[in-house]
Amino acid sequence: MTTLIQYLQYLVNGITLGSIYALIALGYTMVYGILKFINFAHGDILMVGAYTGLLTYTALLGESTNPVWMLTAFFIAMLVSMAFCAALGMFIERVAYKPLRNASRLAPLLSAIGVSFILSNGAAWIFGAQSRRFPYPFDNTPIVIAGLSITPHQILTVTVSVIMMVVLTLFVNKSRMGKAMRATSIDQATSELMGIDVNKIISMTFAIGSALAAVGGILSSFDFRVYASMGTMTGLKAFVAAVIGGIGNIQGAMLGGLILGVLESIGAPLLGIPSALRDTIAFAALIIILLVKPDGILGKNEREKV
């Protein structure tokens, strides 16, 4: 019985982690769907989002300990951070990727790596090397239900992620802009002929992906603290999640994120290996998926590629 509860606990933790991965994976998958390139700087946008959120939150909060204002300030900080990262994502696309749109496929990839270096080292320069804690905007005492402890921040993480994903799905499937995005991902040249402003769509994709990364960054900083290179590993794993689900596929990224989070959380105790090897599990899962079904779990069969 205790083991069962223990595993349920791992599952809860895994879902929390997985929903963060899913949010970040969405940015990778949307960009890949349209431009067919891996945006290596995405992980660092997450870091910028976390820092912006943290700074805005502490500035807004000041000395206040009013619980309502704490939560309001948190959500305002999240919105500010989303807006900032969206602008940053669009700017990076404009400066570093747009001139390379017709170059060989390696060029934008390396340019993205360059941007990633600039962002993470710039942050290390400005904010210093030590990591900071993102204070909980509420009392984070775990709620214990039948031996299962769930913290309010886990509830917040999952709720915010689900809301974001529902909004995104609605946007992509129902709105005019979403339709244009889907069209661009299927065939850029033809959508251009149909009067879609492809440049605008690409900018938009980067903006949305970066805003989601900002949310992911803030939510992940409760567990992992805020530091300049925080985006590298989380970003890589979110990318793994995108591939597992089927890169270029929005539902796939969500599913892949959850699967990866749960795998990471349950994998180590299940296989009886030290939890420090959890990264290895993530990458091993990636390689197995690539060998068995390179298009990912939901790849290719779905027509909705964005």
Residue 100 interacting with other proteins (CB under 8 A) = yes
Nearer to other proteins by Cβ, of 199 and 280: the residue is 280
- 181 contacts 205 by C-beta, under 8 angstroms: yes
- 49 contacts 122 by C-beta, under 8 angstroms: no
| CA distances (Å), origin 178, targets 160, 201, 214, 248, 295 | 21, 9, 21, 14, 23
Residue 4 interacting with other proteins (CB under 8 A) = no
The pair of structure tokens assigned to 119 is 């962002």
Residue 24 interacting with other proteins (CB under 8 A) = no
Among the listed residues 37, 12, 7, 5, the one whose alpha carbon sits nearest the alpha carbon of residue 205: 37
Q: Mark residues 182-221: x for contact with other proteins by CB under 8 A, - for none.
A: ----xxxx--------------------------------
Neighbouring CB atoms inside 10 A of 196's CB total 18
Residue 111 interacting with other proteins (CB under 8 A) = yes
Check residue 150 and give left, alpha or beta (phi > 0: left; psi -120 to 50: alpha): beta
Quick one: how many helices (H) and strands (E) in the chain? 11, 2
CA atoms within 13 A on the CB side of 149: 4
Residue from 286, 299, 304, 306 touching other proteins (CB under 8 A): that is 286
Total binding residues toward other proteins, as defined by CB under 8 A? 48
Nearer to other proteins by Cβ, of 137 and 209: the residue is 209
Residue 243 interacting with other proteins (CB under 8 A) = yes
Nearer to other proteins by Cβ, of 114 and 147: the residue is 114
- Give the interface with other proteins as residue ranges (CB under 8 A): 36-38, 95-96, 99-100, 102-111, 113-118, 121-122, 124-125, 186-189, 232, 236, 239-240, 243, 274, 276-277, 279-280, 283-284, 286-287, 290-291, 294
